[in-house]
């Protein structure tokens, strides 16, 4: 309500009080001229506020003086006038306080209502977000599921393709050996049984050597192929007896070298043929990659690690620069020309593939001119015997990392 409306209403209330008092005059006579003005001021303070109610109080006094006393009321009835002002001001004071209290209560209730509304909106918003989140989670789960299915399907296809390619290479390599051997054999017969002049003899020797190298390459490829697709059964293998047998077979190759073995050597979880092949390749490299005129000095030992055994082959060879330490385990990676150090570049790839199939790892420590230490890590035999290969791999890798 506007300020002027509140004053107008106060005037109207006093008007109504005056009329009421006039009506009452018929029954109560001229006594209590202020009676209805008390009520008027009370209503005015409650409905119109403090200032309009003070104005109503004064108007009530003027009305009583004019309509009911017919002259100055203070002179006619000073007690009634004083009492009127005392009571109406008390009513205005109490009314004012009550009005303020009511306003505060109204304001608090409005604030509470506003907050309640905000809370309801927030709850609604959160419910909507939760629903959206659930829907997103569901979509994500669906995508993940589809993706997993696709990955599994493609991995399966890829594995099949790799297997058939490996099988294909393996049979090609196998079939290549027959003509190579024939070439080699006929070159030897030609050199020995035909009367060839010196240059022709030299050419046939070169043919025979080349056929020999090609046969070695095919044999290495076959060995590598076998490792990739043949099943591997693990058992406890005595490294010492594998090494003894290997060294006795390699006597022709090692008679000009110093080979020492630190005994006893432990048992590991492996497959004897693969372990023999891996150790044989490492020992042959240690015999081969020495400076011309240097006697190879090879030292074989084993270190016990928490979950595995590390078999180390130390040599006094030419050593390998750090940048090639990973590379040399790839197929056909060679650091030297065949004229300098002959070879096919598959030996270390065979070692790596074989050891991985046994659930182990290979590595080396080496510096140019300081020799090399190639190592193979395999799971200890014993408690682990009979376990699945993957289990062995996981345990070792976690320990090694
Ligand atoms: P290959 O012996 O037929 O050349 P490998 O795969 O066995 O093939 O070795 C790859 C390369 O790693 C070798 O050509 C050689 O350069 C290097 N290498 C391997 N073993 C040793 C070693 N004990 N000392 C120095 N270099 C080595």
pLDDT tens digits along 214-243 = 888 888 888 887 887 778 899 999 999 999
Q: What is the pLDDT of residue 164?
A: 85
Let me know whether 110 and 248 are in one domain: no
Let me know whether 249 and 389 are in one domain: yes
pLDDT surpassing 70 at residue 391: no
CB neighbours of 318 closer than 8 A, spacing ≥ 6? 289, 290, 291, 368, 369
Rounded Cα distance between 343 and 349, Å, is 13
In a domain, 306, yes or no: yes
Q: What is the pLDDT of residue 73?
A: 80
Residue by residue, DSSP assigns 344-391 as -S-HHHHHHHHHHHTT-EEEEEE-TTS-EEEEEEEEBSSTTTT--HHH
* Percent helix, strand and coil across the chain, each to the nearest 5: 70, 10, 20
What CATH number does residue 390 fall under?
A: 3.30.565.10
Boundary-marking domain end, from 81, 115, 149: 115
- Closest by CA to 52, choosing from 85, 16, 90, 14, is 14
In a domain, 270, yes or no: yes
In a domain, 194, yes or no: no
Stretch 336-356: mean pLDDT: 92
pLDDT surpassing 70 at residue 64: yes
Let me know whether 253 and 105 are in one domain: no
* CA 82 distance to own-chain centroid: 88
Q: What is the pLDDT of residue 191?
A: 87
Stretch 277-290: mean pLDDT: 97
In a domain, 171, yes or no: no
Rounded to the nearest angstrom, the distance between the alpha carbon of 40 and the centre of ligand 1 is: 117
pLDDT surpassing 50 at residue 385: no
**Residue 334 Cα: closest atom of ligand 1:** 14
Long-range contacts of the stretch 217-223 (C-beta < 8 A, 24+): 217/344, 217/346, 218/173, 218/176, 218/177, 218/180, 219/177, 220/344, 220/346, 220/347, 220/350, 221/169, 221/173, 221/346, 222/170, 222/173, 222/174, 222/177, 223/277, 223/346, 223/350
Q: Which token pair is 396?
A: 């070792």
Boundary-marking domain end, from 51, 80, 115: 115
Q: What are the phi and psi torsion angles at 197 (to 5°)?
A: -75, 175
Report helix, strand or coil for 302.
Answer: strand
Report helix, strand or coil for 173.
Answer: helix
Let me know whether 101 and 239 are in one domain: no
pLDDT surpassing 50 at residue 301: yes
Rounded Cα distance between 325 and 342, Å, is 20
Strands 361-366 and 372-379: antiparallel
Mean pLDDT of the chain: 89
Q: What is the pLDDT of residue 58?
A: 95
Q: How many domains does the chain have?
A: 2
Residue 392 · residue 359 · CB < 8 Å? yes
Rounded Cα distance between 111 and 117, Å, is 10
Q: pLDDT by residue (tens digit) across 165-194?
A: 877 877 887 888 888 989 989 998 988 888
Nearest CA to ligand 1 atom 12: 328
In a domain, 128, yes or no: no
Alpha helices in 299-346 (DSSP H): none
Pocket test for ligand 1, best of 348, 349, 369 (most atoms within 8 A of CB): 348
Stretch 367-393: mean pLDDT: 72
Report helix, strand or coil for 236.
Answer: strand
In a domain, 180, yes or no: no
Percent over 90 (pLDDT), the chain: 68
Q: Give the lowest-confidence range in 6-10, 112-116, 220-224, 258-262.
A: 220-224
In a domain, 236, yes or no: yes
Q: What is the pLDDT of residue 396?
A: 37
Percent over 70 (pLDDT), the chain: 95
Let me know whether 252 and 387 are in one domain: yes
Boundary-marking domain end, from 79, 97, 115: 115
Stretch 356-385: mean pLDDT: 90
Q: pLDDT by residue (tens digit) across 89-137?
A: 999 999 999 989 998 999 999 999 999 999 999 999 999 999 999 999 9
Residues flanking ligand 1, CB < 6 Å: 281, 285-286, 289, 315, 317-318, 320, 328, 333-336, 343-349, 372
Rounded to the nearest angstrom, the distance between the alpha carbon of 362 and the centre of ligand 1 is: 14
**Residue 281 Cα: closest atom of ligand 1:** 7
Q: Give the lowest-confidence range in 129-138, 145-154, 199-208.
A: 199-208
Q: Give the lowest-confidence range in 38-42, 92-96, 156-160, 215-219.
A: 215-219
Rounded to the nearest angstrom, the distance between the alpha carbon of 93 and the centre of ligand 1 is: 109
**What range defines the domain where residue 316 resides?**
231-400
pLDDT surpassing 70 at residue 384: no
Rounded to the nearest angstrom, the distance between the alpha carbon of 256 and the centre of ligand 1 is: 19
Rounded to the nearest angstrom, the distance between the alpha carbon of 340 and the centre of ligand 1 is: 12
Q: What is the pLDDT of residue 194?
A: 87
Q: What is the pLDDT of residue 225?
A: 79
Q: What is the pLDDT of residue 393?
A: 36
Residue 232 · residue 357 · CB < 8 Å? yes
Let me know whether 111 and 241 are in one domain: no
pLDDT surpassing 80 at residue 32: yes
In a domain, 185, yes or no: no
């Amino acid at each position: 309500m506007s300020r002027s409306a509140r004053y107008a209403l106060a005037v109207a209330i006093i008007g109504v009080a005056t009329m009421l008092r006039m009506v009452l005059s018929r029954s109560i006579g001229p006594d209590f001229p202020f009676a209805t003005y008390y009520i008027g001021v009370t209503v005015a303070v409650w409905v119109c506020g403090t200032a309009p109610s003070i104005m109503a109080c004064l108007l009530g006094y003027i009305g009583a003086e004019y309509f009911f006393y017919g002259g100055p009321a203070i002179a006619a009835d000073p007690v009634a006038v004083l009492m009127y002002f005392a009571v109406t001001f008390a009513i205005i004071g109490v009314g004012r306080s009550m009005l303020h209290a009511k306003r505060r209560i109204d304001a608090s209730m409005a604030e509470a209502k506003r907050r309640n509304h905000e809370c309801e909106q927030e709850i609604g918003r959160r419910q909507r977000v939760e629903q959206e989140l659930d829907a997103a989670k569901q979509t994500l789960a669906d995508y993940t599921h589809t993706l997993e299915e696709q990955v599994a399907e493609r991995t399966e296809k890829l594995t099949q393709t790799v297997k058939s390619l490996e099988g294909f290479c393996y049979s090609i390599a196998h079939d290549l050996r027959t003509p190579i051997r024939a070439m080699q054999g006929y070159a030897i017969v030609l050199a020995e049984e035909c009367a060839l002049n010196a240059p022709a003899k030299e050419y046939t020797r070169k043919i025979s050597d080349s056929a020999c190298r090609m046969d070695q390459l095919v044999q290495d490829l076959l060995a590598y192929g076998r490792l990739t697709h043949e099943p591997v059964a693990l058992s406890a293998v005595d490294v010492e007896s594998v090494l003894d047998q290997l060294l006795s077979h390699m006597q022709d190759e090692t008679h000009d070298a110093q080979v020492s073995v630190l005994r006893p050597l432990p048992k590991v979880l492996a497959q004897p043929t693969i372990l023999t092949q891996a150790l044989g390749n490492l020992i042959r490299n240690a015999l081969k990659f020495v400076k011309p005129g240097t006697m190879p000095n090879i030292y074989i030992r084993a270190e016990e690690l928490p979950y595995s055994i590390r078999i180390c082959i130390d040599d006094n060879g030419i050593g390998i620069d750090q940048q090639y330490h990973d590379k040399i385990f790839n197929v056909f990676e060679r650091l030297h020309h065949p004229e300098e150090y002959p070879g096919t570049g598959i030996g270390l790839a065979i070692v790596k593939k074989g050891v991985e199939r046994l659930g182990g790892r290979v590595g080396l420590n080496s510096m140019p001119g300081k020799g090399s230490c190639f190592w193979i890590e395999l799971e200890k035999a014993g408690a682990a015997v009979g376990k699945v290969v993957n289990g062995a791999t996981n345990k070792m890798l976690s320990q090694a990392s």
